[in-house]
Amino acid sequence: MNKLCVYLPCYNEAENIDSLVCEWISESNKLKGEGFELFITCVDDKSTDNTLRIICDLSKRYPSVSVIAHSQNKNLGGVLMTSIRDFLDKYTSRDLMCFMDADNTHKPFYIHSMLKKLKAIPSDNACVIASRYQKGAAVQGLESSRRLLSEIAGFYYSVIIRVPNVKDYTCGYRLYTHTALCAGWKKYAEKLVECHTFACMMELLFKLYKSGCHFDEVPFCLYYDHKAGKSKMKIFKTVKDSLFTALKLRLFLR
């Protein structure tokens, strides 16, 4: 049976990670019916709360759950690279990697529409994005100023980066084929993800595109009102970094 390998980036997610992992476990039987055995890897990025203890306990309760613990904080880009390396080292060309936020804003049940969409892409070098900008998508609990900022950023990326079939350049909820990540690694190796901030998601998307990846999207609801704890995103620093990263990618990766 093919494997669906879910990677969860964890930094101070003690209030969220248990329920998220349990939601994934509840999808196991349906995923088996679709031909996939579920494996979950929680990557702890040197949390300062009880996150690591909780995910270690989860790994004891559920054989399909494993833990990677960073000895130092590497931020989202570092966790993303750890996940990609682990996936390419341990799994095969028939397996898939899912990466998503671990703060309960992304719901596991969308994986089924993502798998269906992936089958419709006429290439093994492919990625499906859970998008806030497709018909039927929604955002719950996000203040209007943040939502406006996100929409403006999305328009900017679509002008500067211009990847076919992509509207949501920054959402971290994605499904990658092994082939797509292999092609990206072959072309860029350790430089596949250099940005450590939230802009790493846009960077990976564009570099995979330059490596021949085909993209498509499914609509989903971002449940920001389900998130417990404070946001880790520093808004203005993230915006500045994202704007610069988009220009850098466009100029130097033509």
Q: Residue 156: what pLDDT? A: 77
How do beta strands 138-140 and 214-219 pair? unpaired
Residue-wise pLDDT for 134-155, tens only, equals 999 988 876 665 665 667 677 7
* Residue 203, strand partner residues: none
Q: Residue 139: what pLDDT? A: 87
Residue-wise pLDDT for 61-108, tens only, equals 999 999 999 999 999 999 999 999 999 999 999 999 999 999 999 999
Q: Are 112 and 178 in contact (CB under 8 A)?
A: no
DSSP string, 206-221: HHHHHTT-EEEEEE-E
Q: Residue 128: what pLDDT? A: 98
Q: Are 41 and 66 in contact (CB under 8 A)?
A: yes
219-238 mean pLDDT: 69
DSSP string, 150-191: HHHHHHHHHHHT--TT-S-SS---EEEEHHHHHHHHHHHGGG
Which carries the bigger pLDDT value, residue 236 or residue 56? 56
Give the orientation angle of helix 178-188 with respect to helix 75-90, to 10 degrees.
110
- What dotted CATH number matches 2-252? 3.90.550.10
Percentage with pLDDT > 70 across the chain: 86
pLDDT at 198 over 80: yes
As a whole number of angstroms, the distance between CA 176 and CA 235 comes to 27
As a whole number of angstroms, the distance between CA 166 and CA 133 comes to 9
Residue that has been written with the tokens 């995910």 in this structure = 55
pLDDT at 199 over 90: no
Residue type present at position 31: L
- Straight-line distance from the first to the last Cα atom of the chain, in angstroms, rounded to the nearest whole number: 39
38-52 mean pLDDT: 98
Residue-wise pLDDT for 218-227, tens only, equals 999 998 876 6
Q: Residue 249: what pLDDT? A: 75
Residue that has been written with the tokens 């799994």 in this structure = 91
Q: Are 180 and 96 in contact (CB under 8 A)?
A: no
As a whole number of angstroms, the distance between CA 153 and CA 144 comes to 14
Which carries the bigger pLDDT value, residue 151 or residue 57? 57
Going from N- to C-terminal start, the domains of the chain cover 2-252
